[in-house]
Chain A
């Protein structure tokens, strides 16, 4: 009788798609997600290996087919070193759509972090992730599913943002500002209101609510904050601790930042974290989009400063540290000034002028 391993393997190899009529020859399965499967295939014409992505048969329908085509077009449109180039789109004999892309070797970010990637290197990767995401935003594309599993780090340190399958588009490219948080207007293929796409642990609150109209570049800022959180704390925000001995938290600090409930401040999980980085992370994770960074470029520049601060802080004696708060926006700063003066006035502080 067949062993468990043999049965699994037979089920796998008999599921492999029939590539007859294409220029590709199947070599093996690379990865399998909720809907899609990625195979390694040989391009006989160009004599090189490529990655072929197609929808798993059980998920194949007209909607997923058009989603895959859209993903291929999105990636083809976004020519950037941090986005995998698409070579070809086609249809198999069984009617399923596929696209061929560059075969990327390397490791997923989550694997690298879990494998002990040094903090300095994690921050370098974060900065590199920001680049293609900011580029996509400038071209009217919001990724909507940024997470460590969708980031590949190549053997030469190259960083690639993968899986643009649920990206949201603006019909016309906007002015290349990169900082515009403008909401992507509904396109013919737009996700209907109330539809939730993305990965819960890395999903912005507006995405989690299915509030499609409010999803914009700042939703990706949230996801990048969640990735930074994962890099600092070793787990996704809001996710229960891996070991029963790890501390648990039911609310977040600093509360005034309005971070989603259930997210513990990273330093409570990893006490000696550089506080500037934590503050950047928590600001990106703010509950309301208005309280996050207005764009990825801003988050990137703050993370760059945070990284420098981390270097300056290294070697400082451990001990209690004052709370560190990422600077607020001008409006928030003005409101804080009013509150501060009101408090002083109420306390009867003499000689207060402003």
Chain B
């Protein structure tokens, strides 16, 4: 599910009088929030995998149908907090009603890597006392960075920047412990480049990633103030 290539806020676009634009905007919101919503349902409501998927799916469908997100008022707080409050109310209502319905033909279903690979429902492990709102925020950040990495990968593919992305993937994306993380000199040998080029490529890729994350962030925030506050929290950055 692609993010719209625009800096316009999709959070505001969910109020558009144009039904198609509304649907596209909600799709973009769902792509950024699917995973945090799904995991929150699993953590907070102790839902099993399939049930959580249905509830997440149902939530986005109901949000479109009933215009919940269009009622968001940026003056009253962050969009993320509003969406979480809507989700809580929705799941509580569904649980009370004892419903567990398959929704809307998978319109907002986003595949979750690793959660259904073996086909068996798994319980997520969660420690007592976990701050669920912080967890929701972390998943939101993870989703946002993942979208930005995908966009960067797509932008570099087939261009002279492909090597920059390959270096970035090797050095920053792959999991290494401190001892096994490759040194710039080792990467230089591996990629047959001078060390200075390794430095330059990594610098470029990180800067591009930062720009892309900020673009995505601008799209899913409703006001300049919210955008800046989220950018500070996410990147420690005052966006330029």
Contact = CB atoms under 8 A, between A and B. Distances in A.
A94 B240 contact: yes
Top 8 A-B pairs, shortest CB-CB distance: A14-B210, A15-B236, A57-B236, A13-B206, A1-B113, A5-B175, A7-B142, A10-B145
B238 A1 contact: no
Interface string B86-128: 0000000000000000000000000011100000000000000
Contacts of A9: 172-173
A6 B172 contact: yes
Interface in A1-34: 1-3, 5-7, 9-11, 13-16, 18, 25-26
Interface string A45-75: 0000000000011101000000000000000
A16 B35 CA distance: 27
15 contacts: A1-B112, A1-B114, A2-B142, A2-B145, A6-B174, A6-B175, A7-B141, A7-B142, A7-B145, A10-B145, A10-B172, A11-B145, A57-B235, A58-B232, A60-B238
A21 B145 CA distance: 28
Interface string A131-153: 00000000000000000000000
Contacts of A10: 145, 149, 172-173, 209
Interface residues of A, number: 21
Contacts of A57: 232, 235-238
Interface of A: 1-3, 5-7, 9-11, 13-16, 18, 25-26, 56-58, 60, 94
B175 A58 contact: no
A2 B232 contact: no
B170 interface: no
Contacts of B142: 1-2, 7
A13 B181 CA distance: 15
Residue among A3, A6, A60 facing the most chain B CB atoms (10 A cut-off): A6
B10 to A, nearest CB: 21
Given A2-B146, A14-B213, A16-B206, A58 B236 contact: yes
B234 interface: yes
Contacts of B141: 7, 11
Nearest to A94: B238
A215 to B, nearest CB: 32
B117 to A, nearest CB: 12
A6 B209 CA distance: 13
B149 to A, nearest CB: 7
Contacts of A2: 142, 145-146, 149, 173
Interface in B29-56: 35
Given A1-B142, A57-B236, 12 more contacts: A1-B35, A1-B114, A7-B138, A7-B141, A10-B173, A11-B234, A11-B236, A15-B237, A18-B207, A58-B236, A60-B238, A94-B240
B223 interface: no
Interface in B178-203: 199, 203
B161 to A, nearest CB: 17
Interface string B127-171: 000000000001001100110010000000000000000000000
Nearest to B181: A9
A292 B197 CA distance: 58
Nearest to A42: B199
B144 to A, nearest CB: 10
B50 to A, nearest CB: 19
Contacts of B112: 1
Contacts of B146: 1-2
A153 B210 CA distance: 37
A5 B113 CA distance: 17
Nearest to A1: B113
A25 to B, nearest CB: 7
B196 to A, nearest CB: 9
A10 B146 CA distance: 10
A164 to B, nearest CB: 24
A11 B238 contact: no
B137 to A, nearest CB: 12
A4 to B, nearest CB: 8
A15 B235 contact: yes
A14 B237 contact: yes
Interface string B200-220: 000100110110010000000
Contacts of A14: 206, 209-210, 213, 235, 237
Contacts of B235: 11, 14-15, 57
Contacts of A6: 172-175
Contacts of A25: 199
A180 to B, nearest CB: 42
A7 B145 CA distance: 7
A263 to B, nearest CB: 31
Contacts of A15: 235-237
Residue among A10, A16, A60 facing the most chain B CB atoms (10 A cut-off): A10
B178 to A, nearest CB: 11
